[in-house]
Amino acid sequence: MYVAVKGGERAIENAHRLLAHERRGDRDVPEVTLAQISEQLALGVDRVMTEGSLYDRELAALAIKQARGDMIEAIFLVRAFRATLPRFGATEPVNTGAMQVRRRISSTFKDVPGGQILGPTFDYTHRLLDPQLAEGFVPEQPMTADASQAATPRVTDILGRDGLIESSPQADSDAAVGDLTREPLSFPADRDLRLQNLARGDEGFLLALGYSTQRGYGRNHPFAGEIRFGEVEVEFSAEDVGFAVPLGSIELTECQMVNQFKGSTTEAPCFTRGYGLAFGQSERKTMSMALVDRALRARELGEEAEAPAQDEEFVMSHSDNVQSTGFVEHLKLPHYVDFQSELGLLRKLRQEFAEANEAVEMQEAAE
């Protein structure tokens, strides 16, 4: 006899227990600590903080551990936690021009005030698996020198002095800071919301879109004007205190792409900007973001907007990996009812098809 399926609750509990067991893995192997993740898998932590929209290394490390290294799952955990946090306000805009730079390169000028600083980078390493790293490797101490007192102005600001690049849009200091996690998004969206969407967007998705612009789908002739990574101060202007209170410092990566613009009837030709910003050291992310940001400005700059990367609604509606993964994975949920409806309809259509064919055959036989 058939009994309607029961025991789902037990099944869920047991599945979660098994998951916890698998997460721990072989119990003879030492458990990974949050400090280990934060220190030794730092770029993963940076990504989870960036796409999770929450600057907290420890929580990001916990999320990575809990997610068994599944980055999108970890981002999801951080986002779900972030969504419950009360919002006190927005910080003062951070000044990346005053960044304590650890890495800073420009591909547009051979030398720039403050110098090119290579910093910690995979660039120019040969991608050969290194067996030394497998265990017990103690790297040499890094070279040190006295910190330079020279200022490191942004390369785009240098171009800006001659009017060769569009001026950086100045935010109206009285205007509310857009936040798509608090207000529903509508199209067309302003650039602040677009940038927020891209900053939270999936690195792989933005990488593919940015790449597509380089291959001709919405080409915008980019140069990496500058990529800088380092620490900036964060200040919060509390209304009752009346002045900005320092909250501490965070690590950021900023990328400013310099793109061609042929001008219009009303504007002289000049370079334009694409902008990328992310927590931690996230160069691939910020470069991709800057390419897509510039592509999304096509309409504003009077360019043809035909490529996917230039389509605001397409890009912004599909960039969020927490949304995408949820909807793709929801296909695992039961769909008995709608499937049953489709099954019923399909049977009916097939029967009608068979009957119609039979009628034709009989008619042909009779003729």
Question: Where on the chain is the footprint of another protein (CB under 8 A)?
Answer: 1-2, 4-9, 11-12, 56, 58-59, 62, 76, 79-84, 86-87, 180-188, 264-266, 313, 317, 322-323, 325-330, 333-338, 340-345, 349, 352
Tokens standing for residue 318: 């599909």
How far, in whole angstroms, is CA 302 from its chain's centroid? 27
Closest approach of Cβ 341 to another protein, in Å?
4
Query: Residue 124 or residue 187: which is nearer to another protein going by CB?
Result: 187
Closest approach of Cβ 263 to another protein, in Å?
11
Grouping H, G, I as helix, E, B as strand and the rest as coil, residue 325 is: helix
Cα–Cα distance measured from residue 224 to residue 205, given in angstroms and rounded to the nearest whole number: 20
Closest approach of Cβ 66 to another protein, in Å?
12
Query: Residue 343 or residue 354: which is nearer to another protein going by CB?
Result: 343
Q: Report the alpha-carbon angle 204-185-50, nearest 5.
A: 35
Query: Residue 84 or residue 170: which is nearer to another protein going by CB?
Result: 84
Closest approach of Cβ 233 to another protein, in Å?
22
Grouping H, G, I as helix, E, B as strand and the rest as coil, residue 235 is: strand
Query: Residue 163 or residue 344: which is nearer to another protein going by CB?
Result: 344
**What's phi and psi for 227, nearest 5 deg?**
-125, 125
Closest approach of Cβ 249 to another protein, in Å?
19
Grouping H, G, I as helix, E, B as strand and the rest as coil, residue 175 is: coil
Closest approach of Cβ 86 to another protein, in Å?
6
Query: Residue 300 or residue 329: which is nearer to another protein going by CB?
Result: 329
Going by C-beta distance under 8 Å and a sequence separation of 6 or more, which residues neighbour residue 234? 91, 92, 94, 246, 247, 248, 249, 250
Cα–Cα distance measured from residue 279 to residue 91, given in angstroms and rounded to the nearest whole number: 15
Going by C-beta distance under 8 Å and a sequence separation of 6 or more, which residues neighbour residue 280? 42, 43, 45, 46, 47, 49, 50, 251, 252, 253
Cα–Cα distance measured from residue 196 to residue 181, given in angstroms and rounded to the nearest whole number: 9
Query: Residue 123 or residue 179: which is nearer to another protein going by CB?
Result: 179
Query: Residue 153 or residue 204: which is nearer to another protein going by CB?
Result: 204
Closest approach of Cβ 210 to another protein, in Å?
23
Query: Residue 76 or residue 271: which is nearer to another protein going by CB?
Result: 76
Closest approach of Cβ 119 to another protein, in Å?
30
Q: Which of 328, 253, 362 is nearest to 72 (CA)?
A: 328
- Cis amide linkage into residue 188, ω under 30° from 0: yes
